[in-house]
């Protein structure tokens, strides 16, 4: 081993000990700690590579099972956006909920003493997921990122859950491999890393690999796909930290001598038993026609733009659409790209009934905190997801957490839409409080912020929409600015008909 390698190993030693200790803890308990998740700084590939490989490059083909659920919350010092699948089996969904809850609880506990200098400097937790089916086996992969202004770079990590769809039982390494499989896996994984253009330079030190392979639980993070087993390895375990979380794909043919599960069963194409009714028609364009109503907006009469973030959520969004339809009102829905594939019918209804469908990014990441590749994935990924269901792509974007900077203004190819009336519905979760916030503050030309993922917001709209329609034209953001003679332009930020920056 040369002097350079020795120095690199010494510099990494302390961090590596922490990462290896974490694996044992994870095997011993279901409750996970963000401090013990072997967080990794992702390597910085090109934008195209990031879109294909990055920690949040979740495309619809990697969401093979389940309906998306989201937990999104904003507090004074922290915020989180956590997405996970609902599989339709009580045991599996309980395990997922417990794991997701532990992500959030530990994040809030660890940041309990943090004080954000401003709302744009909140500590933020973002969790997105992939889900795969291999015969009766369902795998869920969580991609986790945490950031706060005190960190030089966001911390990222990965966790996996694997279930037998027939009974919802959680499965582990011992359920899939048999015999003296570890030496074989070590050889196969090592060969993969040494042959990979992405990893080969980091895998040049055989002693470092050997030390990592000797750790308990080294193969405990994995997902089963139709083609084989995908392994995830914590940062510093097998490669230097710059390589982030290495991902290694091994085919079933390569693993056949050591598989404890029938390979034919893993590669059968029938839907998993308890998921038969929960698969989403993702990645396909819907034939949607907008209803032609001959709608006219009178520029001389008062008008407001009701806007809804973070959806769609069928039971909430549907109620709001019903109320709007009763009064002939229109609204603007700033949707998350990672949710629309699960609910294309709701998105299609929004568009067909004359509402404006706009972007709230792909998975609700704070854009000023994104690197180049993540930024592109958040903006372009949302546009593509929406465009796969509706004709064309969105004409506006609302930045998550209301956070934007000069780079955001320069790079987002849409006007940025903010608000002038914040109902704080996400905070109060109280219909009466939302109603009061609107009644006390709304006036002609306002943009009102609400969120169509909270049932209490729909409760408020049961009263508000009919009430507001008596005094105001309920218009989309696009209609508001058209009526006021103000063009919507990329690079500008719109707060109301009175305030544009």
Q: Which of the residues 93, 148, 164, 309 is marked catalytic?
A: 309
Q: Which of the residues 383, 451, 452, 459 is marked catalytic?
A: 451
83 half-sphere exposure, CB direction, 13 A CA radius: 28
Residue whose C-alpha is closest to residue 221's, from 388, 428, 37, 362 = 37
Rounded to the nearest 5 percent, the helix, strand and coil shares of the chain are 40, 20, 40
What is the spatial distance between Cα 80 and Cα 364, in angstroms, rounded to a whole number? 9
Tokens representing 189?
A: 């994984």
Sequence-distant (6+) residues with CB within 8 A of 303 are 297, 444, 445, 472, 473, 474, 475, 479, 480, 483
Helix (H, G, I), strand (E, B) or coil at 472: coil
Sequence-distant (6+) residues with CB within 8 A of 244 are 40, 41, 42, 43, 55, 156, 235
DSSP state of 35: G
Sequence-distant (6+) residues with CB within 8 A of 211 are none
What is the spatial distance between Cα 439 and Cα 45, in angstroms, rounded to a whole number? 49
Task: Give me Rg for the CA atoms of the chain.
Answer: 24
Sequence-distant (6+) residues with CB within 8 A of 276 are none
261 half-sphere exposure, CB direction, 13 A CA radius: 23
Active site residue 451: yes
What is the spatial distance between Cα 16 and Cα 214, in angstroms, rounded to a whole number? 13
Catalytic residue set: 309, 451
């Amino acid at each position: 081993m040369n002097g350079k390698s020795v120095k690199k190993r010494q510099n990494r030693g302390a961090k590596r000990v922490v990462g290896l200790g974490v694996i044992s803890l994870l095997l011993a308990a279901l409750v996970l700690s963000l401090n013990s998740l072997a967080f990794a700084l992702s390597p910085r590939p090109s934008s195209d590579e990031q879109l294909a490989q990055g920690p949040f490059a979740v495309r619809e083909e990697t969401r093979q099972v389940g309906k998306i659920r989201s937990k999104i919350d904003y507090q004074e010092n922290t915020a989180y956006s956590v997405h996970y699948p609902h599989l339709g089996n009580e045991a599996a969904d309980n395990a997922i909920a417990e794991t997701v809850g532990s992500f959030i609880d530990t994040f809030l506990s660890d940041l309990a003493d943090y004080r954000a200098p401003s709302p744009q400097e909140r500590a933020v937790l973002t969790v997105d997921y992939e889900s795969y089916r291999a015969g009766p086996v369902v795998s869920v992969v969580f991609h986790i990122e945490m950031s706060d202004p005190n960190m030089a770079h966001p911390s990222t990590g990965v966790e996996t859950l694997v279930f037998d769809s027939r009974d919802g039982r959680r499965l582990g390494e011992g359920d899939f491999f048999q015999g003296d499989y570890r030496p074989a896996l070590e050889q196969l994984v090592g060969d993969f890393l040494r042959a990979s253009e992405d990893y080969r330079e980091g895998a040049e030190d055989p002693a470092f690999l050997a030390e990592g392979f000797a750790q308990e639980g080294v193969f405990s993070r994995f997902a089963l796909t139709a083609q084989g087993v995908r392994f995830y390895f914590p940062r510093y375990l097998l490669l230097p930290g710059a390589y982030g979380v290495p991902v290694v794909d091994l085919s079933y043919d390569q693993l056949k001598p050591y598989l404890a599960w029938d390979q034919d069963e893993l590669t059968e194409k029938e839907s998993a038993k308890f998921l038969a009714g929960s698969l989403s028609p993702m990645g396909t364009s819907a034939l949607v026609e907008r209803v032609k109503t001959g709608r006219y907006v009178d520029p001389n009469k008062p008008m407001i733009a009701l806007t809804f973030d973070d959806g769609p959520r069928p039971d909430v969004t549907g109620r709001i659409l019903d109320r709007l339809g009763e009064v002939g009102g229109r609204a603007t829905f700033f949707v998350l790209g990672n949710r629309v594939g699960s609910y294309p019918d709701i998105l299609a209804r929004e568009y067909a009934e004359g509402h404006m469908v706009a972007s709230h990014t792909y998975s609700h990441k704070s854009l000023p905190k994104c690197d180049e590749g993540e930024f592109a994935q958040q903006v372009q990924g949302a546009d593509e997801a929406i465009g796969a269901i509706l004709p064309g792509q969105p004409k506006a974007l609302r930045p998550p957490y209301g956070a934007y900077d000069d780079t955001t203004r320069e790079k987002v190819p849409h006007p940025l839409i903010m608000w002038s009336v914040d109902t704080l519905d996400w905070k109060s979760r109280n219909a009466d409080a939302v109603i009061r916030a609107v009644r006390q503050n709304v006036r002609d030309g306002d943009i009102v912020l609400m969120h169509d993922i909270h049932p209490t917001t729909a409760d408020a709209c049961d009263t508000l929409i009919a009430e507001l329609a008596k005094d105001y034209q309920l218009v989309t953001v696009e209609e508001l600015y058209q009526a006021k003679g103000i063009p919507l332009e990329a690079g500008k930020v719109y707060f109301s008909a009175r305030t544009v920056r």
